[in-house]
Amino acid sequence: MSSPIPAEQLRYFRKQQRRIVDTIQQFVEIESPSDVKAAVDRLGTVIRSRFGELGGKVRVHRVEPAGNHIQVSFPGRREHKPVLLLGHMDTVYPIGTISKMPFRVSKGRILGPGVADMKAGIALAFHAIEALLHWNGGQFPRPLSLLLVSDEEVGSASSRSLTETLAPGAGAVLVLEPAQGPQGAVKTARKGVGGYTLRVEGRAAHAGLDFEKGQNAILEMSRQICALSGFGDPARGVTINVGRVTGGTRPNVVPAEATASIDVRVRSRQDAAELHRKITSLEPANAQCKVMVTGSINRPPLERTGGVIMLYEKARSIAKALGWDLEEAAVGGGSDGNFTAALGVPTLDGLGAVGGGAHSPEEFAVVSELPRRAALLAGLIEQV
Ligand SMILES: [Zn+2]
């Protein structure tokens, strides 16, 4: 037994469209904000049983305080390295959001919290796997692993090591994050992301009686912010956003401390190292103040390497056989694909739903795109 020709596959998934939407509904209606373990674990339990019904071997990686991570493996006929499908179960929406933005299908769009990012991606993986098993007499052409983590939206602190342990054993990593833009481009480059906290210590004094004795931490912070901004180079893709500043106590007190939270983005590992060095060597302009920096580049950039291009070309030829021209895109946001690509494992991202409005009340996935996304994913699992 073997998979049908691409046009047949597409017809099959068109017939499955209603069931794919139903699976998405099931996943969306179980809310799963990253910071509520019980909620993510509830979704994890349902996902385990769905993939378990397909015959996958389920392994639960128990962690605290984040939700558990779910790994599902399927054996393959040939002794190849497995394909690793990578996704996350958590969303950015707090519990109760579902009552304000309930799951619904309207004007060809599915709406609901986390629908595109990335519950539709998990549903697409489910239906692609189901179809491949159906077409191949219950066994994959090559082994497949699926890793669904619980904390991607908050930086993947508890899942990163697991992702980095599984990836090197895989021949390719396919990331179920939403596609880019209305054309549904796959993501062949993602910026690296870093977070830093800058703290300035000065000296408090009465703003009227002892002004000269004070060392103004906020004034020093403003100089540091100017210096930091100078490290940015948007044309090169290096951006620095000081997103939050706190400091001082009241107008008549020279402030003794100030703190800034900083988000940085870079396109290359070289720029990441360079920027990290600059930020961590900031010196106070006022020698009476102290400047302290903590933080790092949390996600290395997903660079458009040979392995990434090879996977994209494969995806493009599969899409072509299905009748469409699959584009590629470079984006500023990071994903867990950044970790696997940085280890040199060929990684292709943006294989989930076509949609938009991620992390907003308007988040949506396009219904009519679901069949060909499922067909693309199935084709990649089979052919990479
Ligand atoms: Zn995501």
Q: How far, in Å, from the CA of 111 to the mean position of ligand 1?
A: 16
Residues 6+ apart with CB under 8 A from 33: 39, 40, 90, 91, 92, 93, 94, 95
The answer to whether 376 touches 7, Cβ cutoff 8 Å, is: no
Q: How far, in Å, from the CA of 302 to the mean position of ligand 1?
A: 15
Q: How far, in Å, from the CA of 335 to the mean position of ligand 1?
A: 7
Q: How far, in Å, from the CA of 314 to the mean position of ligand 1?
A: 23
Residues 6+ apart with CB under 8 A from 79: none
- Contacts of 36-39 with CB under 8 Å at 24 or more apart are 36/95, 37/64, 37/65, 37/66, 37/67, 37/150, 39/67, 39/95
The answer to whether 253 touches 205, Cβ cutoff 8 Å, is: yes
Residue 1 has a pLDDT of 66
The answer to whether 104 touches 353, Cβ cutoff 8 Å, is: no
Q: How far, in Å, from the CA of 119 to the mean position of ligand 1?
A: 9
Q: How far, in Å, from the CA of 179 to the mean position of ligand 1?
A: 10
Q: How far, in Å, from the CA of 346 to the mean position of ligand 1?
A: 19
Residue 2 has a pLDDT of 81
Ranges under pLDDT 50 in the chain: none
Q: How far, in Å, from the CA of 185 to the mean position of ligand 1?
A: 15
Q: Which two tokens stand for residue 22?
A: 């139903």
Taking the CA atoms of 357, 363, 367 and 370 in sequence, report the sign of the dihedral they define. positive
Q: How far, in Å, from the CA of 116 to the mean position of ligand 1?
A: 8
Q: How far, in Å, from the CA of 117 to the mean position of ligand 1?
A: 5
pLDDT in tens, 213-252: 999 999 999 999 999 999 999 999 999 999 999 999 999 9
Model confidence, pTM = 0.92
Identify the three-state secondary structure at position 197: strand
**Burial degree of 289 (CB within 10 A; 0-12, 13-18, 19+):** buried
Identify the three-state secondary structure at position 184: coil
Residue 142 has a pLDDT of 87
Q: How far, in Å, from the CA of 153 to the mean position of ligand 1?
A: 7
Largest Cα–Cα distance of the chain, in whole Å? 89
Q: How far, in Å, from the CA of 236 to the mean position of ligand 1?
A: 25
Q: How far, in Å, from the CA of 354 to the mean position of ligand 1?
A: 13
Residue 3 has a pLDDT of 86
Q: In what order do the strands lie in the sheet with 69-74?
A: 57-61, 69-74, 144-149, 83-88, 172-175, 347-348
Instruction: Give the whole-angstrom CA distance, residue 248 versus residue 222.
Output: 13
Q: How far, in Å, from the CA of 49 to the mean position of ligand 1?
A: 22
Q: How far, in Å, from the CA of 203 to the mean position of ligand 1?
A: 43
Neighbours of ion ligand 1 (CB under 5 A): 117-118, 177
Q: How far, in Å, from the CA of 178 to the mean position of ligand 1?
A: 7
Residue 384 has a pLDDT of 87
Which strand (E) or helix (H) includes residue 298? Answer: strand 290-299
Residue 288 has a pLDDT of 98
Q: How far, in Å, from the CA of 233 to the mean position of ligand 1?
A: 26
